[in-house]
Amino acid sequence: MRITVLAGGVGGAKFLQGVRHFATSDGRSDEVTAIVNTGDDVTMHGLRICPDLDSVMYTLGGVIDTERGWGRAGETWRIKESLAEYGAEPSWFGLGDLDISTHLVRTQMLDAGYPLSDVTAALCQRWQPGVRLIPMTDDRCETHVVVEIDGQRRAIHFQEWWVRYRASLPAHAFVQVGLDTARPAAGLLDAVSETDLILLAPSNPIVSVDTILNVAGVRDAMRASSAPVVGVSPIIGGAPVRGMADACLPVRGVETSADGVAHFYGSRHGDGVLDGWLIHDDDVAELDGVTVLARDLLMSSVEVTASMVADALKVAGL
Ligand code: GDP
Ligand code: CA
């Protein structure tokens, strides 16, 4: 079976560990493709950084720092300290020494003219994630956040809002800069149309999943695909399991609940994408034409997460 997953960073990576486990368990040999958000991507100190792709790559490669949730285990920070001594900005973004090697290779390849999808494939040669990783686009399409600073409305990069201000500045809107010209990365539309199951990871609905869906042609391809689409709620009991997704949902008028997110994604019978929706025990969600299943959605082990995938197949009637 071919399984395609739309994913952001930390939540997406953890979910993909479970998908990979499912795909290789009980004699299965499913082919898994992850379409990863690149709206968080940013250039700092001349280096091109892809936070969500790296979270997925390091997690599936077994080298993620599990305590911190991002970056590499056993990281050191000498370059960061040295940059700070130069007074080089930005100083609020953590770039570890080991991590920087990834950004150096990526930046060099991009400068040589390779598209991000090829660069990602090359980086994955080293980490062997066991899942094909496709960036949502090879073009620049960066999420900016409209905020008020000193009484002035300004758009700042998503990373600045998220990391520097810990999403504490009230956001008026999210804008995907470059969306007009961004095209889906090579292989993306095929991964959506020629697959057997599409899963929406329990990633941030606004700045991870919707960002991918907004790239020209992706939402339409999802709606037109013969593969069922099943989403997994990142919201449990009215709050994100981890992180600050609740700072994003109200900006788009979405209630922070499993039902709110279901309505945001919408039913394929209406103008949305969902055929199935997994919610946590005791949560409720109801959407015309969408099969809802309540179960444990805490990704406490790869086995538990893999069993979510098994349930997604059931919901999809596969
Ligand atoms: P980011 O790009 O690093 O912010 O990560 P994602 O967008 O992929 O995922 C963030 C989301 O993962 C948050 O909204 C969390 O609620 C969700 N999440 C984290 N751990 C779990 C879990 O164990 N279960 C579920 N259902 N969601 C989770
Ligand atoms: Ca992210």
Residue 81: per-residue pLDDT: 96
By most ligand atoms within 8 Å of CB, the mutation choice from 6, 241, 296, 303 for ligand 1 is: 241
* Domain of residue 227, CATH code: 3.40.50.10680
Shortest-distance ligand to the CA of residue 38: 2
Give the span between the Cα atoms of 171 and 251, in whole angstroms: 6
Ligand 1 atom at minimum distance from 235 CA: 16
Residue 15: per-residue pLDDT: 98
Question: Among 208, 285, 281, which Cα is nearest to 243's?
Answer: 208
Q: Is 11 in the pocket of ligand 1 (CB under 6 A)?
A: yes
Per-residue pLDDT band at 35 (split at 50, 70, 90): very high
Residue 244: per-residue pLDDT: 87
Ligand 1 atom at minimum distance from 204 CA: 7
117 within a domain of the structure (yes/no)? no
Per-residue pLDDT band at 208 (split at 50, 70, 90): very high
269 within a domain of the structure (yes/no)? yes
Shortest-distance ligand to the CA of residue 7: 1
Question: Among 130, 150, 143, 161, which Cα is nearest to 33's?
Answer: 130
- Checking if the pLDDT of 94 tops 90, the result is no
73 within a domain of the structure (yes/no)? no
Residue 238: per-residue pLDDT: 95
Q: What separation in Å is there between the alpha carbon of 22 and the centre of ligand 1?
A: 19
User: From atom 25 of ligand 1, which residue's Cα is the shortest distance away?
Assistant: 234
Range of the domain at 30: 2-41+130-139+180-316
As a whole number, mean pLDDT of residues 295-305 equals 98
Residue 245: per-residue pLDDT: 87
Give the span between the Cα atoms of 250 and 144, in whole angstroms: 16
Question: Among 204, 167, 222, 199, which Cα is nearest to 313's?
Answer: 199
- Checking if the pLDDT of 316 tops 90, the result is yes
Q: Is 231 in the pocket of ligand 1 (CB under 6 A)?
A: no
Q: What is the pLDDT of residues 109-147, one digit of tens each?
A: 999 999 999 999 999 999 999 999 999 999 999 999 999
By most ligand atoms within 8 Å of CB, the mutation choice from 17, 50, 52, 204 for ligand 1 is: 204
195 within a domain of the structure (yes/no)? yes
Q: Is 299 in the pocket of ligand 1 (CB under 6 A)?
A: yes
Ligand 1 atom at minimum distance from 241 CA: 16
Give the span between the Cα atoms of 295 and 276, in whole angstroms: 13
Q: Is 55 in the pocket of ligand 1 (CB under 6 A)?
A: yes
Shortest-distance ligand to the CA of residue 261: 1
29 within a domain of the structure (yes/no)? yes
Residue 270: per-residue pLDDT: 97
Angle between helices 97-111 and 78-86 (to 10 degrees): 70
As a whole number, mean pLDDT of residues 207-225 equals 98
User: Taking the complete model, does pTM exceed 0.75, yes or no?
Assistant: yes
Q: What is the pLDDT of residues 178-203, one digit of tens each?
A: 999 999 999 999 999 999 999 999 99
- Checking if the pLDDT of 243 tops 90, the result is no
Q: Give the whole-number percent of the chain exceeding pLDDT 90.
A: 96
Q: What is the pLDDT of residues 98-112, one digit of tens each?
A: 999 999 999 999 999
Q: Is 179 in the pocket of ligand 1 (CB under 6 A)?
A: no
Domain count, the chain: 1
Q: What is the pLDDT of residues 145-155, one digit of tens each?
A: 999 988 999 99
216 within a domain of the structure (yes/no)? yes
As a whole number, mean pLDDT of residues 298-302 equals 98
231 within a domain of the structure (yes/no)? yes
User: Cβ(249)–Cβ(257) under 8 Å?
Assistant: no
Q: Is 135 in the pocket of ligand 1 (CB under 6 A)?
A: no
User: From atom 24 of ligand 1, which residue's Cα is the shortest distance away?
Assistant: 298
Give the span between the Cα atoms of 310 and 318, in whole angstroms: 9
184 within a domain of the structure (yes/no)? yes
Q: What is the pLDDT of residues 47-89, one digit of tens each?
A: 999 999 999 999 999 999 999 989 999 999 999 999 999 999 9
- Checking if the pLDDT of 260 tops 90, the result is yes
